[in-house]
Structure 1
Amino acid sequence: MEVKQSNMPTEDSMAKQEDARAGVAVDAQLAKNIMSRHFQPSLIGHETWEGYIFSDLEIRIKESTDVYGAVLWPSAMVLCHFLETNQDKYNLADKNVIELGAGTGLVTIVSSLLGGKVTSTDLPDVLGNLCYNVMRNIKGRSKYIPLVTELTWGQDLDQRFPRTTHHFDYILAADVVYAHPYLEELMDTFDYLCQENTQILWAMRFRLDPENSFVERFQQRFHMEELYDLPTLSIKLYKAWRKDQKTKDHREAAV
């Protein structure tokens, strides 16, 4: 007798589909909550700015359309939301923090409001606007004043941040990976600054293939854990830390 296969979904497959739909709904609500942190000023004065609410404080960010790095992208808001809502596990208070590609400074500002000793870095043409935003939002609000300083990825790292005197508990990065020609230099910068016990928190928006290949190469040097996946924003947030070099070398020697 011929037995026909049933195309009816099983209870297990139906449960998985229901879980998937629930997960999508949760992620969509999370993305909505994050984007609600942004507001437009009700009155436009002599200066144009964008408003954000973090740590129950109003943060005013001035953008600059003349410089690509001086525009705030949603990945920064995702990272800020995560830091604020996960202080029990990722406590920045009195920790040494460095931000790569700080841009308009929102992540630096929020990290400082959360008690971090922050080194905020970017290219020279961004520093003026970055420093302005940091100082206007931090003054009188933060235990530590962030150090705003130039950093060109991959260049003079041992001179700017010698490992004997500079150890960072956290490396923060938001939307530093896109189709620019300095991905290898960025990788080397992550590699140099990330020492034992350093945690990387990195939010990125997926756009083109170079971002995907960067993640694959990144995983060769670092362990990675996905903390957020927000399809409605095309943004993921990762935690990363160094692979055990001794264990890796031993494993390769045994092959």
Structure 2
Amino acid sequence: MERRFVPSLITTEAWEGYTFAGLDIRIKESTDYYGAVLWPSAIVLCHFLDSHRETYNLMDKNVIEIGAGTGLVTIVTSLLGARVTSTDLPDILGNLRYNVNRNTRGRCQHPPHVTELTWGNNVEETFPRASDCFDYIMAADVVYAHPYLTELMETFDHLCQDNTVILWAMRYRLDRENTFVERFQKLFHLEELYDLPSLMIKLFRATRRFPCSQQHRCPA
């Protein structure tokens, strides 16, 4: 039997409260899973999106968040007007869906879609390149001490079309993460938007170095 986190609807719960897009947001965490804990990189990315609305206008844009965790970035991008697909592993989806539904229901033009995405696993079947076209890929703290960095790179490469912009907040902890950034730069142009040394967090903007093959491009 698979173990999945489902937040209780009747017991007293602890919340983390935030204000973005002019609205109060309440986030439920689960300490049983690293992926269901809110990390500072997500807050940094949300602050950037909220304070740079003119430069990065998300209204009616197609956005996918990978490794969505507690859903804060998904919630904020939805409140800012985007059409959001929010993804994570199966055992995270219960908490993710709970947070997203609670904070976006009746508040946004495009209700976000929460679905499973296991990096590197049947990504083309789940998100066909010819039809699933994203203006932005959001990622917060997806690089850490796990063995799936190759699969993460493959997922970035698959989801990123010629005109897609990746906004990626990352906390530096280990040399492995520096190595990933070096590999990432072989496929993507990388621009540093924020550097927060006190938090060991950097925020990057990235685009493809090489165009997609013609058969994999979204229709114009």
Work out whether the TM-score is over 0.5: yes
Unaligned runs of 5+ in 1: 1-44, 247-255
Query: Which of 1 and 2 has greater Rg?
Result: 1
Q: Quick one: which of 63, 86, 107 aligns to 1:141?
A: 107
Q: Give, as a single letter, the amino acid of the residue that structure 2 aligns with 1:238.
A: F
- Give the C-alpha shift of residue 244 in structure 1: 3.0
Unaligned runs of 5+ in 2: 1-10, 213-220
Q: Quick one: which of 167, 173, 176 aligns to 1:201?
A: 167
The verdict on how the C-alpha distance between 1:233 and 1:167 changes in structure 2, with shifts beyond 3 A counting, is same
Q: How does 1:233-244 map to 2 (within 5 A)?
A: 233-244=199-210
Q: Quick one: which of 73, 88, 98 aligns to 1:122?
A: 88
Q: Paired residue for 2:190?
A: 224
CA distance, structure 1, for counterparts of residue 12 and residue 127 of structure 2: 39
- Give the C-alpha shift of residue 245 in structure 1: 4.5
Q: Secondary structure at the residue paired with 1:128?
A: helix
Q: Paired residue for 1:64?
A: 30
- Give the C-alpha shift of residue 164 in structure 1: 1.6
Percent identity of equivalent pairs? 70
Structure-2-length-normalised TM-score: 0.90
CA distance, structure 2, for counterparts of residue 219 and residue 164 of structure 1: 24
State the 4+ residue runs in structure 1 displaced beyond 2 angstroms. Answer: none
Q: Give, as a single letter, the amino acid of the residue that structure 1 aligns with 2:134.
A: F
Q: How does 1:1-255 map to 2 (within 5 A)?
A: 46-245=12-211
Q: Secondary structure at the residue paired with 1:224?
A: strand
CA distance, structure 1, for counterparts of residue 83 and residue 31 of structure 2: 29
Cα offsets for 1:1-59 (capped at 9, x unmatched) = xxxxxxxxxxxxxxxxxxxxxxxxxxxxxxxxxxxxxxxxxxxx811111011011110
User: Retained in 1: the 8 A contact 2:162–2:211?
Assistant: no
Structure-1-length-normalised TM-score: 0.78
Cα offsets for 1:195-239 (capped at 9, x unmatched) = 110000000000000000000000000000000000011000000
Q: Secondary structure at the residue paired with 1:202?
A: strand
User: Retained in 1: the 8 A contact 2:41–2:171?
Assistant: yes
Say what the alpha-carbon RMSD is for the aligned residues: 1.1
CA distance, structure 1, for counterparts of residue 112 and residue 22 of structure 2: 20
Q: Give, as a single letter, the amino acid of the residue that structure 1 aligns with 2:74.
A: T
Q: Which has the higher helix share?
A: 1
